[in-house]
Chain A
Amino acid sequence: MSNNVMEVRALRKEFGSSVAVENVSFEVRKGEILGLLGANGAGKSTTLFMLLGLITPSSGSIRVFDKDLQTNRVEILQRMNFASSYQCLPYNLKVWENLHVFSEIYRVENGKRKAVELLDMFELTHLRNKMTGSLSSGEQTRLNLCKALLSDPDLLLLDEPTASLDPDLADKVRKILLELQRQNGMTIVNTSHNMADVHELCDRILFMRKGNVIAEGTTAEILDKFASTSLEEVFIAIARS
């Protein structure tokens, strides 16, 4: 059995005459944190949504846990989860109601205990009876992470996990994610514009531009390749090239 949790081969997505993802191939190794970086319009979100089965690729293949995503979607999604700072849980449910519903959907053993632990970890316990719609954006971001971690996923996809968080909370969230990843061997794919996130979290980085992966490697390798001292400079150089 391969050591790769995910294998993406020649992924392509066209919307009419527009090509959002041209030719993307990569692997995600078990237990690693992979960063997916790129400017707006680079194809990160489209790639991420294809990895989640939300968008069907025009061509190419995605294998997760050694299974084809298109034909084993529900089985694979049971072992995956997703959190985004740009998505909310239903605003018209209370915090604990949302976590209870999703713990049942993900068939979590001891869902209530797990929800209580996560609320405590992300400093949301005092908000458990608040309506989700009344939370601040930072609180909603943390609640999304609680929901994503309820099922102890083998593969976690994150879209800007610390956007809307102040530097203190962002640092705490990064440390929580690293600790959980160390404890559970969780594999994470993380898209972010926050270079502190990328630097602290990611074992490996993929840079995308115009629907293609144009650079891949560890932070040190990327910096060396672009003869730069900061990921932000590399990001800007790629975006403007």
Chain B
Amino acid sequence: MDLRVIKALLMKYMFVCSRNSFRAMDVFFWPLMDLFVWGFLSIYMLKVSHALPSLITFLIGATILWNVLYRAQHAVSVMFLEDVWSRNLLNIFVAPIKTSEYVGAAYFMGLVQSVVVMVLLGIAAAAFYQFNLFQLGIGLAILFANLMLMGCWLGLLTTGFILRWGPPAEALAWAVPFLIQPISGVFYPISVLPVWIQPLAKVFPSSYIFEGMREMLTTGSTAPHYLWCAFILNVVYMIATGFLFRYFLQEARKMGFLAKYAA
């Protein structure tokens, strides 16, 4: 991998973002709105029902961490889509760029956006709801790392789908995370799900991440069982997605999709 090439790809994306306010909204506006909606909803529920005060903690913590995962996935997908929308895909694929360099740049962008979102929402949660995200300590770092990993391979998977199935699949860049959100126990424990769905939840690292988050907030422990399960699954999926992406790229070359998308 040549860092100079990765730096060039990141520079290109930063030039685009610097004059596209909608890209800035992805990182600043939508996550904050999410936090405000869920935060004020949980305060309301506390007032009108006998919900436990920990409900606010769980919902706000879940909202922040869900946005970390979502932004990582979104950043990876949108970096590719920007090349599609600006009709730059052909220039990229006839340039001496390795797949690992292209993916590496996208993953780095996912990391940067996730860090920005986590810090922004952490500050907002403290200001509006007196919720201290950083009370999780080292556990937060491990949760963040797992969320990042999951967001990255989900983003690569989405990009692979778009490569293989073309413009009609672009909506997946926004939709894919929400396919797994309901069964990942983001805002509620997995035990709330119908019994027949619960085994499916075990397939996703996100289920362990959010169960782990709730255990950390409740008991103060680092929830090692959950975090190790999440990490192992993430590594497996990361490797599998890498192979799948290569396969989709090969198929796109065979079927002439790269040339077609660039037209």
Contacts and interface: CB of A to CB of B under 8 A. Distances in A.
Interface of A: 15, 45-46, 49, 52-56, 74-75, 77-78, 80-82, 84, 86-94, 97, 100-102, 104-107, 147
Interface residues of B, number: 33
Nearest to B99: A74
Contact of B11 (A49, A56, A78, A104): A104
B255 interface: yes
Interface stretch (B13-21, B52-60, B213-221): B13-21
Interface string B1-22: 0101101110110011001100
A75 B96 CA distance: 7
B94 A89 contact: no
Contact of A105 (B86, B90, B96, B253): B96
B179 interface: no
Interface of B: 2, 4-5, 7-9, 11-12, 15-16, 19-20, 83, 86-88, 90-91, 93-98, 250, 253-256, 258-259, 262-263
Given A90-B12, A102-B95, A105-B8, 7 more contacts: A53-B93, A56-B253, A82-B94, A84-B90, A90-B88, A92-B86, A106-B95
10 contacts: A46-B256, A53-B93, A54-B258, A54-B259, A55-B253, A55-B256, A74-B98, A90-B16, A97-B12, A105-B9
A25 to B, nearest CB: 21
B256 A49 contact: yes
A54 B94 contact: yes
A64 B7 CA distance: 28
Contacts of A80: 94
Given A56-B254, A92-B16, A92-B86, A106 B96 contact: yes
A82 B96 CA distance: 12
B95 A107 contact: no
Contact of B8 (A52, A75, A86, A101): A101
B5 A86 contact: no
